[in-house]
């Protein structure tokens, strides 16, 4: 046997290592077992050695459980002698280390000391093998005798039994400590669960398999009004479930117990105060090791308010839906790209598509051509400002365009994508009606503006609501001065005979009450300046159906809402009538005179009394012929004049030399002039005019003829022509001719620029009184009525001249004074482009 290493002196060093070992061997090291100490002492005594100890092998370390004859050594790595003992069974003895080659050099190291003799026995655990040694040692050589050998074996077994007992006790200790720990953990857990259950807001109830309440948390207590103690041990349906719900509650419970879990359901709880609460439950079952239901756990939430709110919300949603659906307006939502998210039926009908072909489609699909840019602008605006309103065009099913007045808002609810809520009204018809109305108003306005008759409208109080320019002008007011005034008081206050005219007696007033049109022809209206003028008027009531709410159900009744009066100033017509009367009587008179002479002359011849007096008969025939000529001239003049005044004469214009025209006219009258011993002088120059030569020769002829008639013998008549500038007033012209041409010789007018030629027939005859100058161009006007006989005139010559000159776009006037001669002037344009006058 070779010496092996001494018991290692490497002892656990450092606090950490010791602590670790101490922790691991806490129980054996800490426990001082007197029984083991007794055994070591007894072993030492019996074996007659000073030292005895029990050492256990723990994880490679030698741990001394008991030591006699030396202080208990600390745990150490162990030495060779112990390992040899442990590896064998029975007693291992070294009587003298010096004699044993294994220990000769070092001796036997044990517990930090060196011995010469050693005897140890392994402690054999039937389950775990050798776990340590019981040994005796001495510093001197010693050997065991037989009895000591046996005794050491017995002590070894005793020590083993003791250690085994100790181990079991320790194990039991551990078990019981584990139990205690588990119990206290369970208690903590229970408290924790209770605290949690009572803290959570949810209702938590636990039921046994018979439906009895086992647990009832604080939330359950506060909602039900019952204390947990009042309900634990009772079935939930005994108190908490209203009678109507009991069978359902039992059925529900049975279903869960039979395996129908987890289950979610709602039921009603009847609180202690008798109020019903709706609880939404979620229940599950707790199973034992055999998977049998032992408890049922239900957690619930009081959803009474939620359900009420939901019900209210549902009802209000339904109401709004009905409102939106039933609305004649268009209601829709669309996203910021213009895609329709929802729409009411009316919206779909407006674009002529079923609802499902509208939702999810872009609004662009419904736009008419050319409306895209406006739509993009709208999208930009609503996204930027949050609101947009205006008119949007949509294609109508019939192919036309519908105009929608919209007011849309951007909705940005939390957590939702922003969208646009739109409200629209189809205003196509309204716009069309408005356009028609505008056109109608424009039309009636232009009628009112252009019509020559005076027209005004009155409200029920007789105040002016509308008046046309002609009416205002005739009445001598501005339109705005009359609007709003009481018209009767303003223009109709006095009768034609000067008597006051009360409003109640006015026929226009009776329009309101009688609801019929009235006409008046012999009335007068009064101007702003106090003068009056004769009028004819027609007043028509504006009738409407009386639609006042209080008359609902009654037959429709008409009522006047205003009166429209149209009137004409009859001054001119009356004057015309007068003139016509005068004309007829004058013509009759003018015709009768020569006719009477003619009749008398022919009567004499016819009677045969002049057969014997041929000279007289011839004279009678000459009278008859002269009167026939006169009649013919008269009739020709009348017809000429009527043709000219009626515009029935067609002028054959051409550029004519004025000199030629004047000379031709003079030539025709030369004979009469010569007879009257009057000299005709022409001063024509080289001017040309745009005229019908025959007509101008006729007019100049009439003027020369008159001049001859009213000039004394030996006098001179000057017929001359001069270019004139139309911009200057004519020399000697009357007031109303003030803008006429002026004589060129006085004005030194540039010949090139002159666009009129003025023709003058000047005599030095009897002249015309100033008060006759204006009327002298009227028909049958003569300064002296006897002229018609003495001068053979008809009083129509100047009227014909006037007509001819006017037809040529010229003017005619006279400058004359009694006994100072007369100058008749008229103008003619020099060309067709001339400024016609
Ligand atoms: P009548 O056939 O009578 O001449 P006119 O119309 O030609 O008809 O003339 C109307 C009246 O004008 C004449 O009757 C006359 O009193 C007056 N009158 C016309 N020309 C002259 C004149 N050159 N001098 C004076 N009186 C004239």
In tens, the pLDDT along 798-827 reads: 999 999 999 998 999 999 999 899 999 999
- Tally DSSP H helices, then E strands, for the chain: 24, 29
Q: What is the model's pLDDT at position 749?
A: 36
The distance of Cα 245 from the centroid of its chain, to the nearest Å, equals 54
Q: What is the model's pLDDT at position 24?
A: 41
In tens, the pLDDT along 131-183 reads: 999 999 999 999 999 999 999 999 999 999 888 888 888 888 888 888 888 88
Residue 278 structure tokens: 């709706």
Is the pTM above the cut of 0.85?
no
Report how far residue 101's alpha carbon sits from residue 107's, in angstroms, rounded to the nearest whole number.
10
Q: Are 508 and 563 in contact (CB under 8 A)?
A: yes
Look at residues 700, 702, 717, 715 and name the one whose alpha carbon lies nearest to residue 659: 700
Report how far residue 404's alpha carbon sits from residue 374's, in angstroms, rounded to the nearest whole number.
13
In ligand 1, which atom is closest to the CA atom of 766? 25
697 CA distance to ligand 1 middle (Å):
18
Residue 500 structure tokens: 């006051």
Instruction: For residue 114, count other CB atoms closer than 10 A to its CB.
Output: 15
Is residue 795 lining ligand 1, measured as CB closer than 6 Å? yes
Q: Is 89 exposed, middle or buried (0-12, 13-18, 19+ CB in 10 A)?
A: middle
793 CA distance to ligand 1 middle (Å):
8
Report how far residue 156's alpha carbon sits from residue 146's, in angstroms, rounded to the nearest whole number.
15
795 CA distance to ligand 1 middle (Å):
7
* Ligand 1, atom 12: closest residue by C-alpha: 782
Residue 726 structure tokens: 């139309």
Instruction: For residue 6, count other CB atoms closer than 10 A to its CB.
Output: 17
Report how far residue 125's alpha carbon sits from residue 115's, in angstroms, rounded to the nearest whole number.
28
Q: What is the model's pLDDT at position 837?
A: 38
| Residue corresponding to tokens 């006790």 | 169
Is residue 768 lining ligand 1, measured as CB closer than 6 Å? yes
Report how far residue 608's alpha carbon sits from residue 8's, in angstroms, rounded to the nearest whole number.
209
3-class SS at 173?
Answer: helix
Strands 532-545 and 61-68, sheet pairing: unpaired
Q: What is the model's pLDDT at position 187?
A: 86
Neighbour-count burial for 131-142, b at 16+ CB within 10 Å, e otherwise? bbbbbbbbeeeb
- pLDDT means per 10 residues in the chain (837 residues)? 37 44 43 85 93 88 90 81 87 92 87 90 88 93 93 92 85 87 85 80 90 91 92 90 92 90 91 93 89 90 89 85 80 92 88 89 92 92 93 87 92 85 90 91 87 92 94 94 95 92 92 89 92 94 80 78 93 85 80 87 90 90 90 87 81 93 95 95 92 95 94 95 68 42 36 76 94 87 67 82 92 93 94 57
Q: What DSSP designation does 289 have?
A: T
Q: Are 696 and 658 in contact (CB under 8 A)?
A: no
Residues 6+ apart with CB under 8 A from 127: none
Q: What is the model's pLDDT at position 171?
A: 85
Residue 22 structure tokens: 């101490």
797 CA distance to ligand 1 middle (Å):
8
3-class SS at 742?
Answer: coil
763 CA distance to ligand 1 middle (Å):
12
- Residue of 762, 770, 785, 798 with the most ligand 1 atoms within 8 Å of its CB, for mutation: 798
Describe the crossing of helices 34-47 and 146-199 by its angle, rounded to 10 degrees. Answer: 170
Query: Within 13 Å, how many C-alpha atoms sit on residue 695's CB side?
Result: 25
Strands 532-545 and 518-526, sheet pairing: antiparallel
Q: What DSSP designation does 164 have?
A: H
Q: Are 219 and 196 in contact (CB under 8 A)?
A: no
């Amino acid at each position: 046997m070779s010496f092996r290493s001494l018991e290692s002196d490497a002892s656990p060093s450092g606090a950490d290592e010791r602590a670790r070992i101490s922790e691991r061997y806490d129980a054996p090291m800490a426990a001082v077992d007197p029984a083991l100490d007794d055994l070591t002492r007894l072993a030492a005594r019996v074996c007659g050695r000073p030292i005895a100890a029990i050492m256990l092998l723990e994880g490679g370390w030698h741990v001394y459980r008991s030591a006699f004859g030396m202080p208990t050594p600390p745990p150490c790595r162990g030495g060779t002698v112990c390992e040899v003992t442990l590896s064998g069974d029975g007693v291992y003895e070294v009587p003298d280390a010096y004699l044993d080659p294994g220990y000769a050099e070092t001796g036997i190291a044990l517990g930090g000391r060196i011995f010469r003799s050693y005897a140890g026995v392994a402690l054999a655990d039937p389950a775990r093998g050798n776990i340590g040694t019981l040994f005796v040692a001495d510093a001197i050589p010693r050997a065991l005798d037989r009895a000591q050998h046996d005794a050491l074996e017995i002590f070894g077994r005793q020590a083993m039994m003791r250690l085994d007992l100790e181990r079991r006790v320790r194990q039991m200790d551990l078990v019981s400590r584990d139990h205690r720990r588990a119990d206290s953990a369970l208690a903590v857990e229970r408290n924790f669960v209770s605290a949690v259950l009572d803290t959570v807001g949810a209702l938590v109830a636990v039921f046994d398999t018979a439906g009895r309440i086992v647990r009832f948390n604080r939330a359950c207590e506060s909602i039900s009004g019952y204390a947990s103690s009042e309900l634990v041990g009772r079935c939930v349906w005994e108190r908490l479930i209203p009678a109507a719900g009991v069978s359902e509650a039992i059925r529900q419970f049975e279903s869960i117990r039979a395996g129908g879990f987890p289950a979610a359901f709602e039921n009603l709880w009847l609180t202690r105060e008798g109020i019903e609460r709706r609880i939404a439950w979620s229940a599950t079952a707790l199973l034992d090791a055999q998977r049998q239901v032992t408890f049922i756990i239900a957690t619930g939430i009081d959803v009474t308010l939620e359900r009420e709110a939901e019900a209210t919300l549902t009802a209000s949603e339904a109401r709004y839906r009905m409102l939106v659906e039933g609305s004649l307006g268009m209601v829709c939502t669309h996203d910021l790209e213009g895609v329709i998210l929802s729409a009411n039926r009316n919206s779909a009908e407006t674009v002529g598509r079923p609802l499902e072909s509208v939702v999810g489609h872009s609004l662009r699909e419904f736009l008419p051509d050319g409306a895209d840019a406006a739509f993009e602008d709208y999208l930009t605006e609503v996204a930027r400002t949050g609101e947009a309103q205006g008119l949007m065009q949509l294609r109508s099913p019939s192919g036309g365009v519908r105009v929608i007045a919209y007011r849309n808002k951007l909705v940005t609810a939390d957590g939702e994508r922003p969208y646009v809520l739109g409200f629209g009204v189809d205003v196509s018809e309204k716009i069309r009606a408005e356009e028609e109305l505008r056109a109608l108003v424009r039309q009636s306005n232009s009628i009112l503006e252009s019509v020559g008759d005076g027209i005004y409208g009155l409200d029920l109080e007789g105040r002016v609501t509308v008046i046309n320019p002609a009416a205002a002008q005739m009445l001598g007011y501005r339109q705005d001065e009359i609007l709003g005034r009481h018209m009767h008081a303003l223009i109709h206050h006095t009768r034609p005979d000067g008597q006051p005219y009360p409003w109640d007696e006015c026929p226009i007033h009776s329009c309101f009450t009688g609801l019929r049109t009235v006409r008046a022809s012999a009335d007068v209206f009064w101007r702003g300046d106090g003068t009056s003028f004769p009028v004819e008027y027609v007043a028509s009531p504006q009738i409407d159906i009386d639609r006042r709410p209080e008359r609902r159900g009654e037959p429709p009744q008409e009522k006047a809402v205003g009166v429209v009066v149209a009137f004409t100033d009859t001054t001119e017509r009356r004057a015309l009538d007068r003139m016509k009367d005068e004309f007829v009587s004058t013509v009759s008179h003018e015709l009768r005179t020569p006719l009477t002479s003619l009749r008398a002359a022919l009567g004499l011849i016819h009677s045969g009394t002049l057969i014997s007096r041929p000279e007289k008969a011839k004279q009678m025939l000459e009278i008859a012929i002269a009167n026939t000529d006169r009649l013919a001239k008269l009739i020709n003049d009348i017809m000429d004049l009527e043709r000219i005044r009626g515009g029935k004469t067609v002028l054959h214009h051409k550029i004519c030399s004025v000199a030629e025209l004047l000379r031709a006219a003079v030539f025709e009258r030369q004979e009469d002039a010569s007879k009257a011993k009057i000299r005709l002088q022409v001063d024509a120059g080289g001017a040309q005019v745009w005229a019908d030569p025959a007509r101008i020769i006729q007019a100049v002829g009439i003027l020369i003829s008159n001049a001859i008639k009213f000039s004394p013998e030996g006098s001179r008549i000057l017929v001359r022509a001069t270019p004139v500038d139309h911009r200057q007033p004519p020399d000697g012209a009357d007031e109303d001719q003030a803008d006429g041409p002026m004589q060129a010789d006085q004005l030194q007018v540039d010949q090139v620029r002159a666009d009129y030629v003025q023709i003058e027939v000047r005599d030095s005859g009897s002249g015309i009184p100033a008060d006759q100058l204006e009327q002298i161009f009227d028909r049958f006007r003569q300064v002296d009525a006897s002229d018609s006989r003495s001068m053979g005139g008809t009083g129509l010559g100047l009227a014909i001249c006037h007509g001819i000159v006017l037809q040529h776009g010229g003017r005619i006037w006279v400058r004359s004074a009694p006994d100072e001669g007369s100058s008749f002037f008229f103008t003619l344009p020099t060309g067709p482009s001339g400024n016609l006058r």
